[in-house]
Amino acid sequence: MKAAVVIDMGGTSLKFGHLLNEKPAGMFQSLATEALRRARDPIVFLAEAVKTYTEQQRLEPDTLIIGVPFTPDREMTTALSSPNIRNLEAAPIKQGLEAKLGLRVVLERDINLLLLGEWYAGAARGAGDVLGMFVGTGVGGCFLQQGVPFRGASGGAIELGHIPIRAEGRVCVCGNVDCLEAYACGHTLVALAERYDTEVAQIFEADHPLLKQESEAFVRDLAYAMATAINLFQPDLALVGGGIPAMRSFPKALFKNIFYDHLRKPVPETTVAFSWAELGSEAALWGAVALQKKG
């Protein structure tokens, strides 16, 4: 049976799943991303993890597809930048894994893989132009035209997490100041929870007036970024996903109100549809299916 292993690399966990005959079989293993960050050689670490997974699942894959949180080089083989997993930078990801595993290795931006999955089998199915924002450890953006990611000149286009948003001088993981990710992403939510001595899950329900103000500013920053992207690209569909909007307490109505208030009238306000992602981490598997269908 034709098999392909898929890894969805997030800032918190590396999820391993696979396809059988180009259909998702499921995701069956999760490793802490911290173990990869600490690995002396990330390629050796990943190769060993793939071998263990294929043995456990009794697979003989011919392809490995990885959604990587990186700014790829033009050829999609290495990371020019990967601030959430620094030791991937300068590592020969594609060539190194192909040499160690004897498989065809396909790298894709993690966000592109998720949005491709939603386009192929989820909330963006059938949409022509789709702009997606995923909010997890970081914030990622992707623009798909009929299922083809817009890559820009360098391969890393739609860096929604790194558009400037306030002028308070906060330093971002990428080294710049005042990026969206310096104010509104998983990192900053954890920092907020620590500062107000509460749980991340409770942040959006807190009574504390200052925390309420800060959590609303968090939602506003994300909505501003998404409205900016939609005003620029005017797609058929705006899609928002990732672990943070999927939190039970995330104020979806507030997000959508701010988002629609800042769309240009009458277009794209009246022409863009809106959807929340619906596949969760399974989106990476469906994204891998879409990539395989394209060859």
Shortest separation between residue 216's beta carbon and Zn ion, angstroms: 22
The nearer residue to Zn ion, 181 or 282, going by C-beta atoms, is: 181
Query: Of 24-32, 67-75, 169-177, 231-239, which part binds Zn ion (CB under 5 A)?
Result: 169-177
With CB under 5 A, what is the number of residues at the site for Zn ion?
5
H or E element: which one contains 8?
strand 3-9
Give yes or no for residue 179 binding Zn ion (CB under 5 A): yes
One symbol per residue from 57 to 96: x for binding Zn ion (CB under 5 A), - otherwise; what is it? ----------------------------------------
Whole-angstrom Cα distance, residue 209 to residue 151? 42
Among 172, 206, 230, 283, binds Zn ion (CB under 5 A): 172
Q: How far is the CB of 183 from Zn ion (least distance, A)?
A: 10
Cβ closer to Zn ion: 19 or 179?
Answer: 179
Report in angstroms how near the CB of residue 93 gets to Zn ion at its nearest.
21
Are the C-beta atoms of residues 155 and 73 closer than 8 Å to each other? yes
Cβ atoms within 10 Å, residue 197: 8
Q: Which of 157, 163, 174, 200 binds Zn ion (CB under 5 A)?
A: 174
Residue with tokens 């990885």: 66
Query: Contact with Zn ion (CB under 5 A): which of 176, 213, 249, 271?
Result: 176
Stretch that binds Zn ion, among 143-151, 175-183, 218-226, 287-295 (CB under 5 A): 175-183
133: Cα separation from own chain's centroid: 8
Tell me which residue of 131, 127, 129, 114 sits closest to 228, measured CA to CA.
Answer: 131
CB of 156 to Zn ion, least distance (A): 12
Give the sign of the dihedral formed by CA 143, CA 144, CA 145, CA 149. positive
- According to DSSP, the β-strands at 139-145 and 148-149 are antiparallel
Angle ∠(184,187,190) on CA atoms, nearest 5: 100
Q: Which residues contact 135 (CB under 8 A, 6 or more apart)?
A: 184, 185, 186, 222, 240, 241, 242, 243, 244, 245
CB of 221 to Zn ion, least distance (A): 13
The footprint of Zn ion on residues 27-46 (CB under 5 A) is: none
Q: Nearer Cβ to Zn ion, position 81 or 231?
A: 81
Angle at 70 (CA atoms; ends 69, 72), nearest 5 degrees: 140
How far is residue 169's CA from residue 164's CA, in Å, rounded to a whole number? Answer: 10
Q: Which of residues 143-162 bind Zn ion (CB under 5 A)?
A: 162
If the CB atoms of residues 171 and 210 are measured against Zn ion, the closer one turns out to be 171
Measured from the CB atom, the residue of 135 and 179 that comes closer to Zn ion is: 179
Options 4-12, 13-21, 88-96, 178-186: segment touching Zn ion (CB under 5 A): 178-186
**Given the rule CB under 5 A, which residues bind Zn ion?**
162, 172, 174, 176, 179
